[in-house]
Structure 1
Amino acid sequence: MIPLLILLLGIVIVVGMIVGLRINAFVALITAAIVISILSPGEWSIRIARVATSFGATAGSIGIVIAMAAVIGVTMMSSGAADRVVQAFIRFLGQERGSPALAASGFVLSIPVFFDTVFYLLIPLARSMFSQTGRNYLKYVIAIAAGAAATHALVPPTPGPLVIAENLSIDLGTMILVGACVALPATVLGLFYAGWLDRRMPVPMRDVPGVEITTPQLSQLPNLGLSVLPIALPILLIAGKTVFLPLLGSDTVLVRWILVLGDANMALLLAAIASTALYIHMRRPSRKELSTVIEQSLMSGGLIILITSAGGTFGAMLKEAQIGPAISGLFAGSSGTSGIGMLLLGFGIASLLKFAQGSSTVAMITASAMLAAIITPESLNFNVVYLGTAIGAGSLVGAWMNDSGFWIYSKMSGLTEVETLKSWSVLLVILGVSAGITSLVLSIFLPLT
């Protein structure tokens, strides 16, 4: 069967099952992978087996990291460590700079913690600040969303960027460093938009069931250094491996330790141990309570592992279908044009998938899987990490009422649907486009080849 028709059929299956039939993304992606595998070249005896093999390979690559990240997120929330990080930003920047403090808190916390959890944590602080100042409520709400959404889409170990790195064979440390550099200016632009819209569309703070105005006392929270440790430790270990290993070179004891500790699985495991130990120290839970907290975090991470592994399988089957050679001719020409074309293609595909089915994570997984089947070393004249950040940027554009983040933002902040479209949807366009432009500019002037 013609490879491009196989690709089109795979996209129709994924989007049709998720949007039309409201079926879970895992089932949609694995079904599409099986159909593509059956239609692709190869012995009939392996056409189903290779799907299971690819699924297992992807799960083996990212399963531990996602599971440990889920444990870190839940235990940081339960121990008060996340609250302590937020309080530190507010004390450092001051109440008069409340929106930058909230944006910085969302930016940092959304690296290991899922977006909806971060927003739920920070929205009471936005309400508390409005109660004290009587103004800028919408500015505070948008600031939280700007920081949290940017790193959610661009910085591992959040599942979407993590799978982008896995699918495109991007060094994880490089993805963390470059993703943060791309997310930062996007967040700053989001803050400017927050101030601009707040002046032109003042929004009152409305009562929201279940959301209380709370400000935890510092005496009830852990030490700042210990609170930051579960976030800083894996970033330093993974990024340190990326930075220092090329400089050291030879096979020494130090190099061996860097290889072990800088491995993403080990780094996240150590961070999860540190976060869990802090939770035990602060809350003194019973064995049953501790077991429940860990199990809940692993259950939330389990579904993400299934979806991301299915996405990796989908991409592997596209490779079996020879999608890459079929599409590469469309981007023939000079190497520079081809590389820029790939960035635009990755951004565009992720945006269309986001608009069609609502989930940024599914958009990142599917788009990166498709691009992994297309790109070759000759098709890019820059580090593939910029294609990864372009896909992450594209996954932010196109947020509307089929996006779960739309309703989390709307219902927890007390905004109407129209106010949410004007603030949340436009904000994500600004974040996505600015991050995409930053990726393009960096790929030209800092190719990292």
Structure 2
Amino acid sequence: MDPLLILAIGIVTILGLILILKVNAFLALIVSAIVVSLLSPGAVEDKISRVADSFGSAAGNIAIVIGLAAIIGECMMVSGAADRIVQAFLGWLGEKRASWALMGSGFVLSVPVFFDTVFYLLVPLARSLFRRTNKNYLLYILAIAAGGAITHTLVPPTPGPLVMATTLGIDIGTMILVGAMVALPAAIAGLAISAWLNKMIDIPFRDDHVVGTEDDVPEVPKTTPPLWLSLLPVVLPVALISANTALDTLANAEHTPQLQVADISDWPAFEAALVGPGATPAAQRIASVLPESVRELFEEPNLDEEQKQSVITAFNDVLVQKSPMLYDNQAFDEVIDKSWKIDEALNADGVSEQQAIELEREALVSSLSQTDLDAMKVHERERFNRLLLEVTFPKLIRPHDWNTPLRQAANVSKLFGNANLALLFSTIIAMWIVFRQKKPTLKAMSETVELALMSGGTIILITAAGGAFGAMLKIAGIGDAIKEMFTNGDVTSSSTGMAFLILGYSLAALLKVAQGSSTTAMIVGSGMLASMISGVELGFHPVYLATSIGAGSLMGSWMNDSGFWIFTKMGRLTESESLRSWTPMLAVLSLVSFATTILLSKFLPLLPAA
């Protein structure tokens, strides 16, 4: 079946189940994943099991982080840490700038706390401010929504951005930093349009009790923890994850696999092994990807220093290039085929240290060759290609030292900067703050955690089901079909990256308008784009695809969006008033964050140096 027809059937299945039959998003996504899988190529006996495998893989990537983030948010509410942050913003900015304080509070708190919880927390403060000032009520509640909604859709560990980062292969630290960069100008624009809407729309303050709203607002403790302690559950994981990203970036920038002229121990022997009559298939493959001008140099009897440097420069260019790829399965069969003997050889008597190094490198090449070479990052591809050279010419190219001091520091930071461990530290701190402030019994603390995990569990099921749906789209070959349609077969076209940004934004916006959930729009949209971009040169970091999808997921909020009803009922507005205030404010957030994404992709592409 045509891949685009499968895509259409998958989307219609999701929307039909959610909008018409009112089926839960988890069931709708799982059913749609199964439908797409059944229509896709593959053995009949694998068509259901691969859905379950993809579901498990997606859950494994996000379940711990979402569960821990839910606990952190609940504990910050119970302990008064969240309220302390809000009071600090008000204290710094003053009552005259209360809208900025509310927007800033929503912006910060929606990183670890879900949007609905943040709005529940802050809307009583907006009412209190109105009672003191007797003005700007709509501005106050829109300011809360602007700050909370934008980080909810762009900054992990909230579920949508977290799943997008995982699906598109984006480092969590990079997603946090770039997501915040895109979110900040959007939040400011949201506050500006909120002030204008506050002047244009006359909405009365309704002070009568509304059943089902006040009871949902948690009781704020009479005493709150110090500000530094209140901020710690938010700041610590961001700092650890960001430090990991920074150290890893610096280690990659060392380019330790790159060749130097001195790395070639015997140039005449190297030339003979590379282009001589006795060259192995691997050596012939390596020579074939070098530029013609470099191959001509080997016809000279003795290379001078300038010519040697030209050869080394050409090799270093080959180390990072995607096409033509240095590795070829057939050409390197000899290296791969003997890898099964490596463990046995390493344990044998009389193996010298040099032989052990060579065997270990052959084992590493064998292992890396089984990965998705096309999806390798630049530094991974550079290292793999250098290892290929070393195992092909073991006596002629000096083994490089991958584990430099900076790389070792980056490896340690990967332990503590792993999102799962960083958020576990934050969870422990958030729970300790609850014990410090409220001194609950162990049973009460357990109930608090269970309450948090009940909401987090639903999110995990939906996001994992969305991951399975995206994986089945990839198996169906939808990526290649749409890639061909958008690029006309030219994946290096300068317009390709922009086309994918627009596609990601449009898909997310369409899904948001149709089914209401920003998180579902992000999950499905990122899954679709992940199936399309393999092998495509975007011209910028894929994090901008994620922020374009997140921007699109804010567009067109109306009655099918749970956030619309939270804003309406908790804010005590009518549906018409929300459509005239909440909906256009989110549209501004959407457009500004998308425009910021485009600008950053052009002027700060974040592509690693070759």
Asked whether the two chains share a fold, i.e. TM above 0.5, the reply is yes
Please tell me the residue identity of whatever aligns with 1:293: T
Stretch deviating more after TM superposition (373-382 or 20-29): 373-382
1:363, 1:6 → 2: CA distance?
Answer: 18
Residue in 2 aligned with 1:424? 582
Q: Does 1:399 align with 2:557?
A: yes
1:163, 1:4 → 2: CA distance?
Answer: 24
2:536, 2:224 → 1: CA distance?
Answer: 52
Residue in 2 aligned with 1:296? 451
Q: Does 1:307 align with 2:310?
A: no
- Pick the aligned partner of 1:367 from 525, 530, 547: 525
Residue in 1 aligned with 2:605? 447
Please tell me the residue identity of whatever aligns with 2:460: I
Residue in 2 aligned with 1:136? 136
2:107–2:147 contact (8 Å) kept in structure 1: yes
1:365, 1:339 → 2: CA distance?
Answer: 20
2:84–2:225 contact (8 Å) kept in structure 1: yes
1:114, 1:296 → 2: CA distance?
Answer: 14
Q: Does 1:260 align with 2:263?
A: no
Residue in 2 aligned with 1:272? 427
1:84–1:218 contact (8 Å) kept in structure 2: no
2:6, 2:102 → 1: CA distance?
Answer: 45
Which TM-score applies when normalising by structure 2?
0.72
Q: Does 1:339 align with 2:342?
A: no
Please tell me the residue identity of whatever aligns with 1:374: M
Cα deviation for residue 256 of structure 1 reads 3.5
1:215, 1:361 → 2: CA distance?
Answer: 25
More helix per residue? 1
2:121, 2:78 → 1: CA distance?
Answer: 11
1:63, 1:232 → 2: CA distance?
Answer: 21
Q: Does 1:119 align with 2:119?
A: yes
1:9, 1:256 → 2: CA distance?
Answer: 44
- Pick the aligned partner of 2:244 from 241, 246, 251: 241
Q: Does 1:178 align with 2:333?
A: no
Secondary structure, counterpart of 1:220 in structure 2: coil
Please tell me the residue identity of whatever aligns with 1:105: S
Q: Does 1:76 align with 2:65?
A: no
Which TM-score applies when normalising by structure 1?
0.97
Cα deviation for residue 218 of structure 1 reads 9.1
Residue in 1 aligned with 2:191? 191
Could you list the runs of 5+ residues in structure 2 that have no partner in the other structure?
Answer: 253-402
Q: Does 1:153 align with 2:132?
A: no
Cα deviation for residue 202 of structure 1 reads 3.0
Cα deviation for residue 378 of structure 1 reads 2.1
Residue in 1 aligned with 2:10? 10
Cα deviation for residue 231 of structure 1 reads 0.5
Cα deviation for residue 414 of structure 1 reads 1.1
1:106–1:147 contact (8 Å) kept in structure 2: yes
Cα deviation for residue 109 of structure 1 reads 0.3
Could you give the per-residue CA deviations for residues 200-230 of structure 1, whole angstroms, max 9, x where no partner exists?
Answer: 2132211242439x99999600011110011
Please tell me the residue identity of whatever aligns with 1:49: S
- Pick the aligned partner of 2:569 from 389, 411, 428: 411
Stretch deviating more after TM superposition (254-263 or 12-21): 254-263
Matches within 5 A, 1:8-87: 8-87=8-87
Please tell me the residue identity of whatever aligns with 1:95: E
Please tell me the residue identity of whatever aligns with 1:75: C
Could you give the per-residue CA deviations for residues 278-307 of structure 1, whole angstroms, max 9, x where no partner exists?
Answer: 111111111110110011111111111110
Could you list the runs of 5+ residues in structure 1 that have no partner in the other structure?
Answer: none
Cα deviation for residue 53 of structure 1 reads 0.8
1:55, 1:437 → 2: CA distance?
Answer: 33
1:217, 1:40 → 2: CA distance?
Answer: 53
1:128–1:215 contact (8 Å) kept in structure 2: no
Residue in 1 aligned with 2:100? 100
Secondary structure, counterpart of 2:473 in structure 1: helix
2:404, 2:565 → 1: CA distance?
Answer: 52
1:186, 1:435 → 2: CA distance?
Answer: 5
Sequence identity of aligned pairs in percent? 54
Cα deviation for residue 125 of structure 1 reads 0.6
Residue in 1 aligned with 2:227? 224
- Pick the aligned partner of 1:378 from 536, 546, 564: 536
Change in CA separation of 1:218 and 1:406 when aligned onto 2, cut-off 3 Å: closer
Residue in 1 aligned with 2:358? none
Cα deviation for residue 240 of structure 1 reads 1.2
Superposition RMSD in Å = 1.6
2:596, 2:443 → 1: CA distance?
Answer: 48
1:36–1:321 contact (8 Å) kept in structure 2: yes
1:228, 1:375 → 2: CA distance?
Answer: 38
Secondary structure, counterpart of 1:206 in structure 2: coil
Change in CA separation of 1:215 and 1:195 when aligned onto 2, cut-off 3 Å: farther
- Pick the aligned partner of 2:546 from 388, 412, 417: 388
2:453, 2:543 → 1: CA distance?
Answer: 29
2:121–2:218 contact (8 Å) kept in structure 1: no
Residue in 1 aligned with 2:166? 166
Please list every run of at least 4 consecutive aligned residues from structure 1 whose deviation after the TM superposition is greater than 3 angstroms: 214-219, 248-256
Stretch deviating more after TM superposition (38-47 or 6-15): 38-47
2:168–2:530 contact (8 Å) kept in structure 1: yes
Cα deviation for residue 394 of structure 1 reads 0.1
Change in CA separation of 1:217 and 1:401 when aligned onto 2, cut-off 3 Å: closer
Change in CA separation of 1:218 and 1:7 when aligned onto 2, cut-off 3 Å: closer
